[in-house]
Structures are given as structure tokens and as C-alpha cells.
């Protein structure tokens, strides 16, 4: 939420202190014995994840995704199986469209396996369903942020129950396959966009399995790219191979989340709808169609569990590379770069292979890698903010921060302009791609659009704040800020850019909390906010 001005009153208490001073040789003799402090933490690492399945047979909405409600990262995969049988008018028995499959035996249902090049075309035995059912993979709505969901109330990590809402039925609570019996374990009617910002649900009773608490609706992660097959994944540039999207091994049908799912995060949709075709609607008689959702979650140190032999199918040759990339956080980390929490010196990092968006710790400070600028130059930004600083005090705070840098880091810093011509643009004159994500018409304000940070030999090696134009060009899939969440700060702090708003009294910043990562240009410059020092370094 945008910080608001608050009147502050300072109450001064005057106390009389009795001081015994011993004057020796014109100085004060001083002793301070046993100044002590303890900083410690007792933390239990508790993994916990839940597959969500929201389904409404009347609207044919079908939302499938995974929530991490624990406090440690997870890796996730989901496999869909389908079953259909039909019976002509006057017949007694149903006939399955895939021989050998039985409605009441889910283990006989047909694994959904797509074509290597097209998720919308099933192959093998699964091809029988192409005629009757269309599956919509991923979630994309023009100009909309990610959808909202109700977090699970069931936080027993030994319970294999899913969060099934509407007409979806959890397999543990109801194995019925009659198309009528209820077996929901979670609130909601399964329709599209049932939950929205500001919704809450009181589970006192309990109404649904789990804790008797009230939860607020939360937001799924925005998908960075549409779900794809693992062959399509292999063709991506290395710096795009890890991110918030689904990858399906078309040989086994398993769909994998292409990133570690961090504590408190929830994937985008693997499936958004399951709609019957005209051919199904024109069957002369009746039919039954069902989808079974099988979800599996592991900690990142157990990728061999996902590589274990499948009794019916063979994993794709690239699966091991895929899982290792997700485990390491970047395909390029296989080449030896340290992990995000490994505190190293600059000579222990190979910036030339680092993917945009990579988090690393250098000489005691956490950074985000933003861009390879060429000629050995790299743009990085601190992955936290200097807080309680008004807009017009940025330069002083940046100077102080830079002066405190490790000398080896300072030796790498390239010069930039000693001052920037930022221009100004009103928040209300901007048209947006996404919800306050990227300005689409920045070119209409040439001075603002031209304020792009670059090496300037006539300037000084120093830290700087990004401009609105910088943030815009660095935002998008595969870039330094791939989504709203990663453009914001997990600490909950908002941060200034260096670009003015409609006048000298307003400025642009990156928001936090419920509006995390959104750009705003109408905040008063006197507000105490965050500053994220950026550097151009050369290696």
C-alpha cells in the first residue's frame, strides 16, 4: 500500500543524570565492560504444498495449479489422465473410447500426452480424445494480472488430499465416478475468476478440511510464457529456461513447474478449461468424460525422485538437464557460478554467463543481475532497499552507499553521467501493457524515453537509481525483472526511480505489498521511500 504522510510529534523527556567523570591528562578516562548482544533464530523448515483443482461442469472451467504453503522451496509436477465412454440410445452398456480403460479404475485411464510440437494435439492412445475434448493450457487474459485463489486451509503436509472446489472431487474423499457425487474439499463453485482481490473466507466449524481460520484471497504467479513441451523448452536460450511457466514431457505426460516454487508462492495455471466439442454434444445417446489430476511435490534436493523410471513411459532425454536447471535456479549455474546465498568476491563470479534476474551475493551484499551490456559491462542492482529516504535525497544516500562498498567491487565500477536529464511525465498520460507493468507510449515523451543509463567515460564511477525508461526496458520474460513480483521487493519496501512525475512534486516508483511491482508516477517526492542502488560493473 502506498505510504501516506503522517504527522509526527517528538516528545522530549529531560532527565537529570549524575555523571562521575575522572579527568586524567586532559582526557576522559573511560571503561565499558561487557557490552553484549545475541542474535539467534530457532526455525523449523516445514515443507508443505497442495494441488488445487477448481472445476465447474456447467461452465467447463477447469483450473489446476499448485500452492506452496510451507516455508521452504518445492519442485512440482502434475500429470493429467482422461477417460471417456459413450452409450447410444437404447444400448445397455457404455463403450470406452480407449480399449481397456475402465471408469471406476482410474489407474487404467489414459495419460494425456501431447504432440512434441503442439500441446493442443494429443498423440498415441490419448489421440482418441482430440475429437471430443479441448484442453486449454496456461492462463492469459489481455491487460489482466494473474488470477486470485483461496489458500488451502489444510496445512497437514502428510495429508495427500487436494484442494478441490466446485464440481471437482478429491480422490481421497470420493472415488465416485458417476458425474454427480460431491467430493469437494475447498470453498468456491469452480467457475472462472470466482475469487478476487479483497475476498476472504472464514473456515470456522470447520466448513472445509483444515484449520479453523480466516484466509484472504491470494494471487497466483503470472505465467511468464505459455506451457510448452520439453522439446520446445530445449530450444529456448539458456537465460530463458528457468522461470514461472509449465513444461510438459510429452513422452510421459508429466508437466513440470520450470522454477523452484518458493515459500508462499502459487504456480500459474497448468490447465484453464476443459471444453467438450460439438462432436461430443452430437453423440446420439449419452457419454461420460473425466479428468484425473495426479500431483507430486518434492524438495529441490530430491530430483532423482522425478527421474525414477516410469513403468509405462520413458522420460525425455532433456529431463535431467531441465530438473538440474530448476534445482540450481539457472541453466548457466551448471557452469560454476555460486548460489544466491553464497557470499563470494567478484573474482569468483562469471558475469558473462549469468542470466538476467539471477540473485547473487557479492562482498556481503545481495544483488540482482539485470543485463549484459556488452564489452564486458554488466548492469546490477542491490536486491534490497535503502529505506526512509525522500526522492530528493537519493544522490546523498547513493554516495554514502557507494563509499561503503568493498574496494574490489569499487574497482569494477564503470563511470556513468554525473547527472541525468530525466524529463517528466504524468502517471495519467501513460498507456499500459499489463496492469502498470510497462508503459506503451513512452516514446511520446522523448526526454523520458532517452534517459537510459549507459557507460559515460566523461562521468564518474558511482551508484545510481534506475530511470523509468531503464525499468521499462528491463521488464519482461527473460529480462532482469521478469514479472511484477520480481520487480518488487519481498521485504515489502517500495523504491524510487530517478524520473519525475507530472511536476517536481511527484515522482515514479515501484510499488509493494498488494500492488507489488507496479509502476506509479504520482507519489509526492517528500515521502520517505526506498532507494535501490544500481551499478555498471566491468569484468
What pLDDT digit, counting tens, does each position of 417-430 carry? Answer: 999 999 999 999 99
Q: How far apart are CA 289 and CA 133, in angstroms?
A: 9
CA distances to 177, 202, 466 from 386, in Å: 57, 38, 14
Each residue's pLDDT tens digit, 349-359:
888 778 889 89
Cell 483443482 -> residue = 53
Whether 89 contacts 78, CB under 8 Å: no
Q: Is the pLDDT of residue 333 over 70?
A: no
pLDDT of residue 332: 54
Is pTM beyond 0.75 here? Answer: no
pLDDT of residue 16: 26
Counting beta carbons within 10 angstroms of the beta carbon of residue 137, is it exposed (0 to 12), middle (13 to 18) or buried (19 or more)?
buried
Q: Is the pLDDT of residue 180 over 80?
A: no
The residue ranking higher by pLDDT, 173 or 75, is: 75
Each residue's pLDDT tens digit, 95-123:
999 999 999 898 999 999 999 999 999 99
Each residue's pLDDT tens digit, 21-76:
333 334 445 455 556 565 554 555 677 899 999 999 899 999 999 999 988 889 99
Q: How far apart are CA 315 and CA 247, in angstroms?
A: 13
Pairing outcome for strands 415-416 and 432-433: unpaired
Beta-carbon contacts of 176 under 8 Å, excluding residues fewer than 6 positions away, are: 169, 183
pLDDT of residue 44: 57
Mean pLDDT within 121-144: 92
Q: Which of 58-67, 144-153, 391-400, 511-520 has the lowest mean pLDDT?
A: 511-520
Each residue's pLDDT tens digit, 200-234:
999 999 999 999 999 999 999 989 899 999 999 99
pLDDT of residue 263: 87
Residue 319 DSSP symbol: H
pLDDT of residue 4: 36
pLDDT of residue 240: 81
Each residue's pLDDT tens digit, 281-294:
999 999 999 999 99
* DSSP reduced 3-state for 122: strand
Whether 114 contacts 120, CB under 8 Å: yes
CA distances to 136, 300, 323 from 328, in Å: 30, 9, 9
Mean pLDDT within 307-311: 92
Each residue's pLDDT tens digit, 243-280:
899 999 999 999 999 999 988 899 999 999 999 999 99
pLDDT of residue 37: 61
The residue ranking higher by pLDDT, 381 or 35, is: 381
Q: How far is CA 161 from the centre of its chain?
A: 24
Q: What is the mean pLDDT of the chain?
A: 87
Whether 472 contacts 371, CB under 8 Å: no
Q: Which of 391, 409, 408 shows the shortest CA–CA distance to 524?
A: 391
pLDDT of residue 18: 28
Helices (H), 446-505: 446-449, 468-473, 484-487
Q: Is the pLDDT of residue 77 over 70?
A: yes
Q: Is the pLDDT of residue 7 over 70?
A: no
Beta-carbon contacts of 108 under 8 Å, excluding residues fewer than 6 positions away, are: 83, 100, 101, 102
The continuous run of DSSP H or E covering 343 comes out as strand 343-344
The pLDDT-based confidence of 179 (bands split at 50, 70, 90) is low
Q: How far apart are CA 195 and CA 356, in angstroms?
A: 33
Q: Is the pLDDT of residue 12 over 50?
A: no
Each residue's pLDDT tens digit, 464-522:
999 999 999 999 988 999 999 899 987 778 999 999 998 889 999 999 877 889 999 98
Q: Is the pLDDT of residue 133 over 80?
A: yes
Q: How far is CA 351 from the centre of its chain?
A: 23
Whether 355 contacts 239, CB under 8 Å: yes
pLDDT of residue 71: 84
Amino acid at each position: 500500500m502506498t505510504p501516506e504522510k503522517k504527522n509526527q510529534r517528538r516528545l522530549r523527556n529531560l532527565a537529570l543524570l549524575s555523571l562521575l567523570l575522572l579527568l586524567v591528562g586532559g582526557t576522559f578516562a573511560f571503561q565499558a565492560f561487557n557490552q553484549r548482544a545475541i542474535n539467534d533464530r530457532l526455525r523449523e523448515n516445514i515443507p508443505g504444498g497442495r494441488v488445487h483443482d477448481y472445476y465447474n461442469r456447467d461452465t467447463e472451467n477447469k483450473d489446476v495449479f499448485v500452492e506452496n504453503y510451507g516455508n521452504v522451496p518445492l519442485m512440482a509436477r502434475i500429470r493429467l489422465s482422461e477417460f471417456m465412454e459413450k452409450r447410444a440410445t437404447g444400448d445397455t452398456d457404455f463403450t470406452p473410447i480407449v480399449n481397456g480403460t475402465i471408469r471406476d479404475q482410474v489407474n487404467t485411464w489414459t495419460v494425456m500426452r501431447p504432440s512434441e510440437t503442439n500441446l493442443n494435439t494429443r498423440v498415441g492412445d490419448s489421440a482418441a480424445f482430440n475429437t471430443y475434448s479441448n484442453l486449454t493450457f496456461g492462463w492469459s487474459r489481455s491487460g489482466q494480472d494473474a488470477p486470485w485463489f483461496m489458500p488451502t486451509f489444510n496445512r497437514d503436509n502428510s495429508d495427500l488430499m487436494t484442494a478441490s472446489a466446485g464440481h471437482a472431487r478429491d480422490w481421497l474423499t470420493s472415488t465416485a465416478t458417476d458425474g454427480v457425487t460431491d467430493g469437494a474439499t475447498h470453498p468456491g463453485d469452480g467457475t472462472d475468476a470466482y475469487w478476487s482481490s479483497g475476498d476472504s473466507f472464514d473456515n470456522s466449524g470447520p466448513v472445509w478440511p483444515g484449520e479453523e481460520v480466516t484466509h484472504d484471497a491470494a494471487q497466483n504467479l503470472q505465467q511468464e510464457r505459455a506451457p510448452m513441451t520439453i522439446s520446445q523448452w530445449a530450444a529456448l536460450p539458456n537465460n530463458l529456461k528457468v522461470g514461472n511457466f509449465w513444461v510438459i514431457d510429452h513422452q510421459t505426460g508429466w508437466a513440470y513447474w520450470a522454477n523452484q516454487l518458493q515459500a508462499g508462492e502459487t504456480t500459474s495455471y497448468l490447465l484453464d478449461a476443459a471444453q467438450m466439442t460439438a462432436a461430443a454434444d452430437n453423440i446420439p445417446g449419452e457419454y461420460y468424460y473425466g479428468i484425473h489430476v495426479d500431483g507430486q511435490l518434492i524438495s529441490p534436493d530430491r530430483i532423482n525422485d522425478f527421474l525414477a523410471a516410469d513403468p509405462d513411459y520413458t522420460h525425455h532425454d532433456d529431463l535431467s538437464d531441465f530438473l538440474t536447471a530448476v534445482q540450481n535456479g539457472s541453466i548457466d549455474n551448471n557452469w560454476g557460478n555460486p548460489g544466491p546465498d553464497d557470499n563470494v568476491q567478484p573474482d569468483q563470479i562469471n558475469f558473462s554467463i549469468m542470466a538476467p534476474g539471477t540473485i547473487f551475493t557479492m562482498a556481503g551484499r545481495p544483488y540482482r543481475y539485470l543485463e549484459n551490456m556488452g564489452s564486458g559491462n554488466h548492469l546490477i542492482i542491490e536486491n534490497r532497499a535503502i529505506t526512509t529516504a525522500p526522492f530528493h535525497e537519493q544522490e546523498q544516500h547513493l554516495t554514502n552507499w557507494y563509499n561503503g562498498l568493498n574496494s574490489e567491487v569499487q574497482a569494477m565500477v564503470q563511470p556513468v553521467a554525473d547527472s541525468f536529464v530525466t524529463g517528466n511525465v504524468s502517471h495519467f498520460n501513460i498507456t499500459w501493457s499489463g496492469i502498470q507493468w510497462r508503459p506503451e507510449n513512452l516514446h511520446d515523451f522523448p526526454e523520458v524515453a532517452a534517459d537510459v543509463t549507459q557507460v559515460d567515460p566523461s562521468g564518474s564511477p558511482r551508484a545510481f537509481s534506475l530511470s523509468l525508461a531503464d525499468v521499462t526496458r528491463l521488464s519482461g520474460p527473460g529480462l532482469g525483472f521478469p514479472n511484477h513480483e520480481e520487480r518488487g521487493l519481498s521485504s515489502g519496501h517500495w523504491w524510487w526511480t530517478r524520473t519525475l512525475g507530472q511536476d517536481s512534486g511527484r515522482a515514479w516508483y515501484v510499488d509493494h505489498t498488494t500492488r507489488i511491482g507496479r509502476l506509479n508516477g504520482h507519489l509526492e517526492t517528500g515521502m520517505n521511500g526506498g532507494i535501490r542502488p544500481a551499478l555498471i560493473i566491468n569484468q
